[in-house]
């Protein structure tokens, strides 16, 4: 039996997903997309990374701070060492479609967890459609992490009357893969063979 056949989502499971999705409280959706660049140092390099993220997403990026002191890397607690940006709702869907083009609409199978999270990397930001090379900024790589959830997850994070969410309400690894395949035409692969490399 080939690896491709072995890894395929069974038809019975797909049928179960589609049956569940008829219930509006069970239908998954892309909650957010987080773009991140870890620079390691502050100053001018960090400002360039912030500019790159703001150009890609079209909204304001924030700086991430070091949580510990690392003497070998000259890192101090509270120092800005990276930048990230969170995109939600329809903006996240539009941006994800653009970012997936870079990897030929492919995501590695190992890039999913059992809570609806998935991620992939982009080695050169200029390979994103609509982004042009600027020699004052250079070329940057970035991480993209998305989260697929069902309605009702707010009860876990709200300030008042917060409560636990049962495990069956999270979107499983297979369901996330199937959702991305149906909604964004994503192909789940064991290894990425990109044409532009």
> Which tens digits make up the pLDDT trace of 54-113?
999 999 999 998 888 887 777 788 888 899 999 998 999 999 999 999 999 999 999 999
Q: Cα dihedral angle (121, 124, 125, 130), rounded to 10 degrees?
A: -120
What does 89-116 look like in DSSP terms, one character per residue?
Answer: HHHHHHHHHHHHHHTTTEEEGGGB-TTS
- Residue 4, pLDDT > 60, answer no
- Residue 5, pLDDT > 60, answer no
Q: Which pLDDT score, from 0 to 100, does residue 195 have?
A: 55
Do 116 and 176 meet the contact criterion of CB atoms below 8 Å apart? Answer: yes
Helical segments of the chain, H only: 3-7, 11-20, 44-57, 89-102, 173-184
Q: Any idea which residue has 């589609």 for tokens?
A: 18
For the chain, what are the domain ranges?
A: 10-189
What fold characterizes domain 10-189?
50s Ribosomal Protein L5; Chain: A, (3.30.1440)
| DSSP state letter for 61 | -
194 confidence band (pLDDT: 50, 70, 90): low
21 confidence band (pLDDT: 50, 70, 90): very high
């Amino acid at each position: 039996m080939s690896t491709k056949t072995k890894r395929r989502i069974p038809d019975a499971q797909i049928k179960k997903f589609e049956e569940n999705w008829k219930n509006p409280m069970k239908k998954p959706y892309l909650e957010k997309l987080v773009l991140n660049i870890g620079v390691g140092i502050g100053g001018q390099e960090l400002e360039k990374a912030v500019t790159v993220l703001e150009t890609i997403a079209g909204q304001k990026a924030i700086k991430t701070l070091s949580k510990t002191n690392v003497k070998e890397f000259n890192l101090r607690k509270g120092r800005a060492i990276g930048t990230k940006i969170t995109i939600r709702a329809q903006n996240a869907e539009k941006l994800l479609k653009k970012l997936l083009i870079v990897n030929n609409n492919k995501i590695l199978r190992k890039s999913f967890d059992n809570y609806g999270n998935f991620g992939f990397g982009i080695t050169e930001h200029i390979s994103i459609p609509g982004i042009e090379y600027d020699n004052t900024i250079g070329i940057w790589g970035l991480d993209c992490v998305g989260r697929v959830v069902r309605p009702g997850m707010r009860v876990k994070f709200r300030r008042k009357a917060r409560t636990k969410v049962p495990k069956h309400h999270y979107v499983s690894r297979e369901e996330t893969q199937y959702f991305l395949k149906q909604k964004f035409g994503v192909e789940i692969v064991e290894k990425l063979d990109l044409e532009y490399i």
